[in-house]
């Protein structure tokens, strides 16, 4: 059964090296205890991630692991008091934390593919199912819900989505279906699927391209989607920054108002490569040798009298808007 973050007392772990115990055995005891809490995980792309009351935290170095190590397990040691021995609370030293952080015994931790902030649908042995709050061992997803979160219950059908976008001037019904398909794909988690590139175009400015993507992003993440640059190194820099950001809104990369000139097409080899990596994306942190991964990442764009390269077009899900006379959307999506 999935386990939520509101667990009881942390397991007790003796920091002393027991008689006949190697450092490997010592670290194994730590990670065996930590694995029972479902608060410390081994990331699918490498490294550790901690799920605490304030949300998920990626642990990239010894310093970030230091405080987490003491919160996951209750560190104790045996202390002699007169003729008696007593278990007392203790703190790990920097060297001990370093040994644990570098230990191969991390393999004992459950693997975490991704943290999601809303329920997602995953395939199961008896059919599709929505995961419960906490860690789901079968899909290796963690549905993080704070104590103040409102429980989200999946509803049947797409009537609510149709009503939400009822005033958006889709050029054809098929384009509306593409948008709804992209939204449904965002909550149906299949790690073997590639993420399509949602591209919203229109016959004039102000027809609602940007607002359409923002509405879709708010439905998926619950927050405001931030625009990113699609140009060269700036795009790669924002990629790695967002991959390190555990907030739901960082899940969507929105390239807003793409323009091209002199008949050229917009192209990005980095974006084209990411679109074929399945739901788990991996990028290198600029200026560092290490890489970070993120799962469930989605890409969207709005075009302003522009076109895409062949590589991006082949990976795109088009949504075209058309209106003869420009006017406000009512009701607004």
Q: What is the DSSP string of 90-158?
A: ----HHHHHHHHH-GGGGGSPEE-EEESS--EEEETTEEEEPPSEEETTTTEEE---TTPPPP---SSS
- The answer to whether the beta carbons of residues 109 and 116 sit under 8 Å apart is no
What integer pLDDT is reported at residue 35 of this predicted model? 94
Q: Could you give the 3-state DSSP secondary structure of residue 237?
A: helix
What integer pLDDT is reported at residue 149 of this predicted model? 63
- The answer to whether the beta carbons of residues 298 and 177 sit under 8 Å apart is no
What integer pLDDT is reported at residue 290 of this predicted model? 67
- Is pLDDT of 150 > 70? no
Q: Could you write out the DSSP letters of every residue in 159-221?
A: HHHHHHTTTS-BSSHHHHHHHHHHHHHHHB--TTSPPPEEEEEESSTTSSHHHHHHHHHHHHH
What integer pLDDT is reported at residue 118 of this predicted model? 78
What integer pLDDT is reported at residue 3 of this predicted model? 37
Q: Which residue has the higher pLDDT, 304 or 246?
A: 304
What integer pLDDT is reported at residue 120 of this predicted model? 85
Mean of the pLDDT values across residues 195-201? 89
What integer pLDDT is reported at residue 287 of this predicted model? 60
Q: Which residue has the higher pLDDT, 144 or 2?
A: 144
- The answer to whether the beta carbons of residues 306 and 163 sit under 8 Å apart is no
With bands split at pLDDT 50, 70 and 90, how would you rate the model's confidence at 36? very high
Answer positive or negative: Cα dihedral of 217, 223, 229, 232: negative
Cα–Cα dist 190/117, whole Å: 16
Q: Which helix (H) or strand (E) holds 27?
A: helix 23-35
What integer pLDDT is reported at residue 147 of this predicted model? 67
Calculate ∠ Cα 251-254-258, nearest 5°. Answer: 165
Mean of the pLDDT values across residues 155-160? 80
Q: Which residue has the higher pLDDT, 188 or 13?
A: 13
Lowest mean pLDDT among 55-64, 107-116, 120-129, 237-246: 237-246
- Is pLDDT of 2 > 50? no
- Is pLDDT of 6 > 50? no
- What is the pTM (predicted TM-score) of this model? 0.64
pLDDT tens figures, 265-292: 888 888 888 888 776 777 766 666 667 7
Domains of the chain: 12-111 (no CATH), 159-321 (3.40.50.300)
Lowest mean pLDDT among 49-53, 161-165, 223-227: 223-227
Mean of the pLDDT values across residues 300-327? 90
Which residue from 45, 48, 43 is spatially nearest to 69, judged by alpha carbons? 48
CB atoms within 10 A of CB 157: 7
Q: Which helix (H) or strand (E) holds 241?
A: helix 232-243
Cα–Cα dist 64/40, whole Å: 13
pLDDT tens figures, 231-271: 767 777 777 777 776 666 677 889 988 888 877 888 888 88
Q: What percent of the chain has pLDDT over 90?
A: 27
């Amino acid at each position: 059964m999935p386990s939520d973050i509101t667990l009881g007392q942390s397991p007790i772990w003796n920091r002393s090296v027991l008689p006949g115990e190697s450092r490997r055995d010592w670290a194994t005891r730590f990670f065996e205890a930590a694995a029972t809490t479902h608060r410390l995980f081994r990331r699918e792309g490498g490294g550790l991630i901690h799920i605490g009351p304030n949300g998920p935290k990626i642990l990239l170095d010894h310093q970030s692991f230091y405080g987490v190590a003491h919160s996951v397990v209750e560190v104790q040691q045996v202390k002699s008091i007169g003729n008696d021995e007593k278990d007392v609370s203790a703190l790990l030293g920097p060297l001990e934390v370093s040994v644990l952080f570098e230990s191969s015994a991390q393999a004992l931790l459950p693997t975490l593919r991704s943290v999601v902030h809303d329920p997602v649908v995953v395939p199961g042995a008896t059919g599709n199912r929505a995961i419960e709050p906490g860690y789901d061992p079968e899909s290796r997803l963690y549905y993080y819900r704070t104590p103040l979160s409102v429980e989200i219950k999946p509803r049947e059908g797409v009537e609510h989505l149709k009503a939400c976008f009822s005033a958006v001037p889709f050029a054809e019904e098929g384009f509306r279906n593409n948008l709804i398909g992209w939204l449904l794909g965002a909550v149906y988690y299949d790690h073997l699927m590639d993420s399509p590139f949602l591209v919203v175009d229109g016959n004039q400015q102000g027809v609602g391209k940007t607002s359409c993507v923002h509405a879709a992003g708010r439905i998926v993440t619950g927050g405001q989607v931030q625009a990113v640059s699609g140009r060269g190194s700036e795009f790669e820099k924002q990629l790695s920054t967002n991959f390190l950001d555990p907030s739901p809104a960082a899940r969507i990369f929105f390239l807003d108002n793409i323009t091209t000139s002199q008949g050229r097409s917009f192209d990005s080899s980095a974006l084209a490569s990411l679109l074929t990596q399945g739901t788990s994306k991996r990028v290198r942190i600029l200026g560092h040798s290490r890489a970070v991964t993120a799962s469930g990442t989605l890409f969207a764009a709005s075009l302003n009298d522009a076109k895409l390269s062949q590589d991006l077009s082949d990976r795109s899900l088009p949504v075209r808007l058309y209106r003869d006379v420009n006017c406000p959307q009512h009701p607004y999506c």
